[in-house]
Each structure stands twice: as structure tokens, then as C-alpha cells.
Amino acid sequence: MGICEGRTVIITGAGGGLGRAYALAFAAEGANVVVNDIGASLEGEGRDTSAADNVVATINEAGQGRAIANYEDVTDWDATARLVKAAIDEFGDLHVVVNNAGIVRDRMFVSATLDEWDATMHVHLRGHFCTARHAVDYWRTKSKDGRDPDARIINTTSGAGLQGSMAQAAYSTAKGGIAALTLVQAAELGRYGITANALAPAARTRMTEQAFAEKMATDGDAFDVMDPANVAPAVVWLGSTESRDVTGCVFELEGGQIMLEDGWREGPHVDKGARWDPANVGDAVSKLLAERVPPRKVWGT
């Protein structure tokens, strides 16, 4: 038996890349998988059901786990209610939501447009909210009825959201918001038997091949560090019953590396015990900057 035997998982954006790798890995560990993907372009345009259908066919042909396709838009409140209902109707329960769907609108900040900004926030932030919010309603009801939901929210942030990335102001902002959302979900939802964690995966996908072509090219290497399948085992474990004591964490995953992010925390400080004179603030800040742990550089600098 796999570590997710009988558990039901919704994975958004599961038609390709990381989402596809997650779906196959969950199914291999005995999970029931709802493969959600609208089949849009990187820019969020168009619709094509074949991507989700192909993943489902691969799972069902392998005979490990069970899978159904779903084509609902994760930014649509009513559609995501139908997505959650479809999982429960088909498999009788829901245990895990993996928020993976996303788009990119790469642009230097001075050239960014309002429409690009709004589209990025809509898919990443609203998209992370809608499916999880409906799932939480279901799990909260189970908890109040005395049935332990033992549930998981697994969000997708990014190195861009944790340290910033040149030409990705909107994407970095949205992904940083997802990391903060994860902390709040973990703090609020534990009482209902729900954990919330986030991933910052580095792997070869349509998005990363476009933004970081040189880094993603690992042809000829003994170990394909950028294979999306490398990220999947940690995601599957987070979705299993074995991870019930892990919540409020952000993991960076790349190749064979699992890194736990340390997060924002208080650094060096100075307290005058009285109001500062503006002319004296500069010296105090210089002292603090000299004492701090140097931050990671913004990607691309």
C-alpha cells in the first residue's frame, strides 16, 4: 500500500509540468486524483481539455490509484465549488488540495501594465483562495461533526516570492502573498484538523523554460536536477497522513534538495528609549545594516 492509499487529492494546473508530476506520484501511492486544468496558455488564454485528459489516461492505464479530469476555472468562485463537489461525489471524500495553477506576465516594473498586474494577482491569489476556501468549508463541517478530516492544503509560492526576481514584479508579489497566506491558514485551521504548507519548487516547466532557459537546460547531466518528478515525492508526503504534525512551513525543493525556509524574523535592533531625531536615524540604521545577516540577492541581479 502507498502512503496516500484511499486519500482524495485535487491538483490544480495538473495537465503538465509540476502538476502532472504530482498527479502521477499521488496516484502511484494509491490516491484518488482530480486532475484540474483548463488547458490555458502561459498567458492564461484559450481552453483545451486534452492536457488533463492525457494525465488521467496515463494514471488509469497504469492501474495505480484512480483519476478523473476536471476543467473548472480556479479563479471562479462557483466553478471551484463544483470542483470540490466533483471530488467528493466521485470518490466519497476529499483530503488534499494542491494549489498549483498559475500564469506569468514577465515584464520590467517600468513597463508593467495594470491588466498584466491584475491578471497575475487574479490567477495566483484568487486562484489559491477559491478552491481551498470551499474545501475548508467541507472539512470544517466534518470536524464539527466529530469526523477527523486529517486534511492538507499545499500551496505554491516561489523563490521569486521569497527573494524577488528581476522582470517579475507581479509574479513575485503574488507568490510572496501566497507564502503569507499559508502562515495564516496554518494558524487558523489547525483546530479543524487541517494543515497548510507551501512549496517553492525549482523544476523544468513551461514557465521556467521561458524565464530561466539556461538554468533549466540539464541535458547530458547524470542526474536531471530540473525534472519535475524530483519535486513530487515531498509533495506526496505532505499530502499523506504522515505529515499531520507539519504545518505553517515553506519548503524549497530542487533536484534532491529539500530546504526548510527560515522565514521573516526579528533581526538586530536598537532602542533609544525616546523619540528619535531624524538627523540621528541614519547612524542607527547603518549600525543595524552592519549587524544583519546579508539577504539573498534578488534573482537576476
**DSSP-derived secondary structure for 33-67:** EEEE-----TTS----THHHHHHHHHHHHHTSSEE
Catalytic residues: 158, 171, 175
Phi, psi of 263 (to 5 degrees): 75, 175
User: 99 near 238, Cβ under 8 Å?
Assistant: no
| pLDDT on residue 97 | 99
Whether 251 is covered by a domain: the verdict is yes
Element housing 142 (H / E): helix 127-144
CA end-to-end distance (rounded Å), the chain: 47
Q: Could you report the per-residue pLDDT of 85-99, keeping only the tens digit for each?
A: 999 999 999 999 999
Average pLDDT, the chain: 94
Reading the block at residue 157, the C-alpha cell is 509560492
- The CATH number of the domain holding residue 95 is 3.40.50.720
Whether 156 is covered by a domain: the verdict is yes
Q: What is the mean pLDDT of residues 225-237?
A: 97
| pLDDT on residue 214 | 60
Whether 279 is covered by a domain: the verdict is no
Confidence band (pLDDT; 50, 70, 90) for 39? confident
Whether 59 is covered by a domain: the verdict is yes
Q: What percent of the chain has pLDDT over 90?
A: 88
Distance in angstroms (rounded) separating the CA atoms of residues 87 and 70: 9
Distance in angstroms (rounded) separating the CA atoms of residues 237 and 115: 37
The lowest-confidence range among 5-19, 31-45, 144-158 is: 31-45
The domain total for the chain is 1
Confidence band (pLDDT; 50, 70, 90) for 21? very high
Q: What is the mean pLDDT of residues 21-37?
A: 98
Whether 277 is covered by a domain: the verdict is no
Angle of helix 169-189 versus helix 127-144 axis, rounded to 10: 10
Q: Which domain holds residue 154?
A: 8-260
Q: Could you report the per-residue pLDDT of 171-226, keeping only the tens digit for each?
A: 999 999 999 999 999 999 999 999 999 999 999 866 555 554 565 456 667 899 99
Place of cell 477559491: 130
| pLDDT on residue 132 | 98
User: 179 near 159, Cβ under 8 Å?
Assistant: no
Strand ranges inside 45-161, DSSP E: 66-70, 96-98, 151-156
Whether 206 is covered by a domain: the verdict is yes
Whether 242 is covered by a domain: the verdict is yes
| pLDDT on residue 42 | 61
Whether 294 is covered by a domain: the verdict is no
